[in-house]
Amino acid sequence: MMRISDVLRRKGDMVATITPDATVRTLLAQLAEYGIGAMVVCEDDGAVQGIVSERDVVRSLHSEGDRVLDGPVSSIMTADVHTCGPSDTVTDMARAMTERRIRHVPVLSDNQLVGIVSIGDIVKQRIDELTAERDHLSAYIST
The residue-averaged pLDDT of 59-83 equals 96
Question: What is the identity of the amino acid at 31?
Answer: L
Say if CB 18 and CB 26 are below 8 A apart: yes
Residue 89: strand pairing partners: 3
Taking all residues of the chain, what is their mean pLDDT, rounded to a whole number?
93
Question: What pLDDT digit, counting tens, does each position of 112-138 carry?
Answer: 999 999 999 999 888 888 888 888 888
Q: What is the pLDDT of residue 100?
A: 94
pTM for this prediction: 0.86
Question: What pLDDT digit, counting tens, does each position of 27-48 carry?
Answer: 999 999 999 999 999 988 778 9
Residue 54 pLDDT grade (very low, low, confident, very high; cuts 50, 70, 90): very high
Number of other CB atoms surrounding residue 59 within 10 Å: 13
Q: What is the pLDDT of residue 38?
A: 96
Share of the chain above pLDDT 90, in %: 76
DSSP label at 98? Answer: H
Residue 51 CA to chain centroid, in angstroms? 8
Q: What is the pLDDT of residue 129?
A: 81
- Express the helix, strand and coil content of the chain in percent, nearest 5 each: 50, 20, 25
**What is the DSSP secondary-structure string of 41-52?**
EE-TT--EEEEE
Q: Domains along the chain?
A: 4-142 (3.10.580.10)
Residue 71 backbone dihedrals phi, psi, to 5 degrees: -85, 170
